Amino acid sequence: MKIYLDYNLFAYLYDESKPDLSAKVNELSDRHSFPYSPAHMEEIATGLIKPTKIDPIDRLIQAYQKIDSISRISRNLELICRTAYGPMVSIEESPLECFRRVVRYYDRNPIVERREEHMLASFKATDPDGSLANRVSNHDEDFLQATPEGYGGALSHS
């Protein structure tokens, strides 16, 4: 089974601040995978790109260490959405390659975020009580590999 960890959980695993979490991930890692996503790399890129009092070289070193940690935990399994409305797919890609792509196109984030806000507002307007969102978010893990037709059109945007 794929278990998607929020970036904060990867950060706790990196800085070893939650030993119980580390123990649980280690215990589950032989039976389950912990994929990362471009969103995780965006979190690291933001920490690197936004101005802080930390020396830029130190921020770069820390970013690479975090990426290496995510690579070890995820075993380079990435969840990525190939189309705007398509399902997530699993691919094998080094987080470093994903990070490079995120940094290369980092200046587009504000545009993408505005589009996402409009898209989410549109979804909310067409699903005010959240019934479709609830139905979609409670599918089993095979849902990540499915086509919209495979789930009765639940993902179709009509």
- The better pLDDT of the pair 147, 55 is held by 55
The pLDDT score that the predictor gives to residue 137 is 52
Percent of the chain with pLDDT over 70: 73
**Total structural domains in the chain?**
1
Is 158 part of a structural domain of the chain? no
Is 47 part of a structural domain of the chain? yes
The DSSP result for 36-90, as a single string, is: B-HHHHHHHHHHHHS--SS-HHHHHHHHHHHHHHHHHHHTTEEEEESSSSSPEEE
- Per-residue pLDDT, averaged over 124-129, amounts to 78
Is 156 part of a structural domain of the chain? no
What domain range includes position 95?
Answer: 7-150
Task: Write b or e for each residue in 48-66: b if 16 or more Cβ atoms lie within 10 A of its Cβ, otherwise e.
Answer: bbeeeeeeeeebeeebeeb
pTM above 0.75, yes or no: no
Is 2 part of a structural domain of the chain? no
The pLDDT score that the predictor gives to residue 143 is 46
pLDDT tens digits for range 63-86: 999 999 999 999 999 998 877 677
